[in-house]
Chain A
Amino acid sequence: MRLTFQRVVALSIKELLALLRDAASRAVLIGPPIIQLLVFGYAATFDLSHVPFVVYTQDQGQLSRDLIARFAGSPSFELLRVVHSQSALEHAIDDQAALMAMDIGPRFTSNLESGRPTHVQIILDGRDSNTAGLAIGYVQSIVSAFNASQIAEHQGLPPPAVLLDRAWFNPNLDSHWFIIPGICGILTLLESMLAAGLSVAREREMGTFDQLLVTPMGPAEILLGKALPGFLIGAAEGTLVILVAIFWFHIPFTGSFLALYLGLFCFLLATVGIGLMLSSLAKTQQQGLLGVFLFMVPAIVLSGFATPIANMPLAVQYITWLDPLRYFLIVLRASFLEGAGVSRVWPQLWPLAVIGTLSMIVAGKLFRRLY
């Protein structure tokens, strides 16, 4: 047992040295995660700001000016210019100069003042449908606010009921709070998978794996010795990006670190296990890299990072059960925003542990095949 321990530690040290000895590989392990978190952290947001729009108005009244001012004054939109013909409006959308165009008819003010409902045409560029869809929501809330103030002013009578909005866990609905913990999960996945995913493939390509096989180490020992460095690197990277999220981006951390680190531990077990599995199937590093990609891209897409899992078709929702990132993202968001403790994240921990254990066992079996 002690011998096993010594061998595993020796192999792990050799693996870490192989990764960290070279200045270039040291740099690519430490630099990119922080830079990426900083860049993506600022870039990835679903909150629209300064979306350019044009206005074509045939109405001379005060109310249309009020409505335009509400849009122009909102931080989400920016008035690009007022156009004077329908064709100029179409042109602005076609050329992607503006994402949105407002077309206000000639009787806008007079209709409203005489108590008749009136239409405003809002045209959105559907090529960028994601943003267009978000913009519809912003348009609706600006128009409702306008309507509410109109009703209050003109009817004198208060409405029978008012709507009071409140959001738990993220009162200002800042989408960074949702996305940055997600990026932490993606970066941890990337680093740990790469460290583990290329390790065996590299030795096989260079022919040094045969040398490992003639040592007195058993397959289980080699497996552990290969797994430990990926685990340590993943844990270090994970900690680093979580610290940046808390101290640089000021994402509130309300939960328990114990729950988060239990989640990180089980998550790394799964990613390193899958990485080693792919790695021992690959004969060259190119195959290893391909394997990592073929796993990682769907894992990120189906994790619920940007698109809710509940929106996916049922069959695909079942596939996401195999995705370790899916569980870890829930743990991250629950422990950052929802103040979750261990008992709250437990339903996410055991599937991760199961995936991790199974993939380690399969990786062990694949290792034995290499003998």
Chain B
Amino acid sequence: MNGMRLRGLMRKEAYEILRDPSSIAIAFVLPLALLLIFGYGVSLDARRIPVAEVVAHPSQLTASFLAELQHSVWFRPTVYPDRASARKALLDGQAEAILWLRSDFTRLSYRGGNAPIHLTVNGVDANQARIIQNYVNGTWLVWLQQEAARQEAPPAAAVIPDTRVWFNPSLRSRDYLIPGLIAIIMTLIGALLTALVVAREWERGTMEGIMVTPVGRTEILLGKLVPYFVMGMGGMILSTAMAVFLFDVPLRGSLLVLLGTAMLFLLTALGMGLVISVLARSQFVAAMVAIVTTFLPAFILSGFLFDIRSMPNVIQILTRAVAARYFVTMLQSIFLAGDVWPVILRNAFGMAVLCVVFLGIALLRFRKRLD
């Protein structure tokens, strides 16, 4: 290891970055664009769901139920004259559920009760459909209690779940999507920045030029790593600043812990990019592998959107090899809860193991040989 040689290599890499502005774009434009799109675009927050109502024989009873639906903040009910037109609306996406009260609804209800309220949802988006079913169910329970009160029957004793969501009481989706998104952006930056850099030198034949010089392989890899590490941290600081100042995501943990975690993660992500780059000698293969092993796993296997505990066991084990998984958990904790040390240490350990493995593979498999 020689400080002067390393500096020389780093300067060469820096010139290469400056000459092809796409690296700078990866570090700064990518987070900017993605955070803006996500921050403003993606929301899992509830909205009024269009419901088609079909009432065969309107009566006071049906009116009281429908009024309950009308008052609810969850629904935007529209009356349809018959089931056929309501079905058409459901198929065309004009409505997401049909509520049908049969012509004998009132009669059945007064003669023994248990009059059926038919709720049909479009099950294609199963998650959305379940949410609608739950909202209607809640409305129905409220209505039952009101009916009981109105008829001066003894009120139905019921359990009322008092749900509190800690750390994000109003379930503002921005607050948890953005920390997760930062993890995904950093994964992309890390892999994109380094995935091509070694493969490029092989493909262009400039690796041979480096090989005839006395620099060692550690120096070559460090010379590749350090400039991109600096750029990646720049991207991280930009993303954090946008999250806090533009999107008002609370940062309850300390900035120091946040930056420390980010450094560890970036080292892991860059290390993974280096492994890809060292193993693949063509940029096309490196690009394919980088996309396949970074973005989609970070999107689907990190717990950012899909709950890891609900996945099959084999897949859960697989997620341990996805660095973003640890980073997503840590970021969500640091942003929304604070420095919760058990969570941070547990995940930092997992990430450190991955980091050592990636950098080790890169170093072992990188040889100063042409074949």
Contacts and interface: CB of A to CB of B under 8 A. Distances in A.
Which secondary structure dominates chain A's binding surface? helix
A160 B138 contact: no
Interface string A119-156: 11111111111111110110111011011001100110
Contact of A42 (B61, B144, B312): B312
Given A52-B309, A160-B144, A129 B165 contact: yes
A313 interface: yes
B285 A157 contact: no
| From B26, B65, B112, B288, residue with most partner A Cβ within 10 Å | B288
Contact of A285 (B40, B287, B295, B340): B287
7 contacts: A25-B282, A43-B301, A119-B160, A132-B165, A144-B137, A160-B147, A173-B129
Contact of B23 (A99, A286, A333): A286
Nearest to A111: B157
B3 interface: no
Contact of B200 (A144, A174, A286): A286
Nearest to B90: A168
A170 B163 CA distance: 29
Contacts of A165: 119, 121, 133
Interface in B148-179: 153-169, 171-173, 175-176
Given A158-B113, A159-B114, A151 B196 contact: no
Interface stretch (B223-231, B329-337, B348-356, B360-368): B329-337
Contacts of B327: none
B117 interface: yes
Given A42-B315, A67-B159, A167-B129, A202 B42 contact: no
A239 interface: no
B371 interface: no
B175 A124 contact: no
B64 to A, nearest CB: 10
B288 A29 contact: yes
Interface in B235-294: 280-285, 287-292
Interface stretch (B4-12, B29-37, B77-85, B206-214): B29-37
Contacts of B125: 178, 308
A214 interface: no
A29 B343 CA distance: 38
Contacts of B154: 115, 155
Nearest to B128: A308
Nearest to B181: A301
Contacts of A19: 284
B160 A117 contact: yes
Interface string B35-46: 001101111110
A190 interface: yes
A86 to B, nearest CB: 13
A311 B47 contact: yes
Contacts of B288: 25, 28-29, 32, 194
A257 B348 CA distance: 48
B301 to A, nearest CB: 6
Interface in A268-300: 282-287, 289-290, 292-294, 296-298, 300
Nearest to B122: A168
A164 B147 CA distance: 19
A158 B61 CA distance: 16
Contacts of A194: 287-288, 291
Contact of B34 (A124, A297, A312): A297
Nearest to A155: B156
A9 interface: no
A294 B33 contact: yes
A303 B369 CA distance: 46
Interface of A: 19, 22, 24-25, 28-29, 32, 36, 39-40, 42-52, 67, 93-96, 99, 111-134, 136-137, 139-141, 143-144, 146-147, 150-151, 154-155, 157-171, 173-175, 177-178, 186, 190, 194, 198, 202, 205-206, 282-287, 289-290, 292-294, 296-298, 300-302, 306-308, 310-313, 315-316, 319, 333, 337-338, 344
B51 to A, nearest CB: 13
Contact of A169 (B116, B124, B155, B167): B124
Q: Kindly list the 8 A-B residue pairs having the minimum CB-CB distance in the complex, ordered from nearest.
A: A126-B168, A170-B123, A167-B123, A158-B113, A46-B127, A28-B288, A126-B165, A126-B167
Interface in B73-104: 90-91
Nearest to A27: B285
B296 A40 contact: yes
Given A115-B155, A136-B165, 14 more contacts: A95-B343, A111-B157, A127-B329, A143-B159, A159-B144, A159-B156, A160-B113, A161-B105, A161-B140, A166-B121, A167-B129, A171-B123, A198-B284, A312-B42
B54 interface: no
B160 A287 contact: no
A131 B130 CA distance: 14
Contacts of B90: 168
Contacts of B153: 155, 157
Contact of A298 (B22, B34, B289): B34
A307 B44 contact: yes
Contact of A178 (B126, B157, B160): B126
Given A125-B166, A165-B121, A130 B44 contact: yes
A51 B310 contact: yes
Nearest to B299: A300
Nearest to A288: B287
Given A112-B157, A134-B127, A284 B171 contact: no
Nearest to B118: A164
A93 B164 CA distance: 12
Nearest to A177: B126
B109 interface: yes
Contacts of A120: 159-162
B136 interface: yes
A137 B313 CA distance: 24
A94 B252 CA distance: 14
A137 B312 CA distance: 22
A127 B183 CA distance: 14
Contact of B38 (A24, A40, A111, A301): A301
A122 B114 contact: no
A333 B157 contact: no
A2 to B, nearest CB: 33
B323 interface: no
A99 B303 CA distance: 13
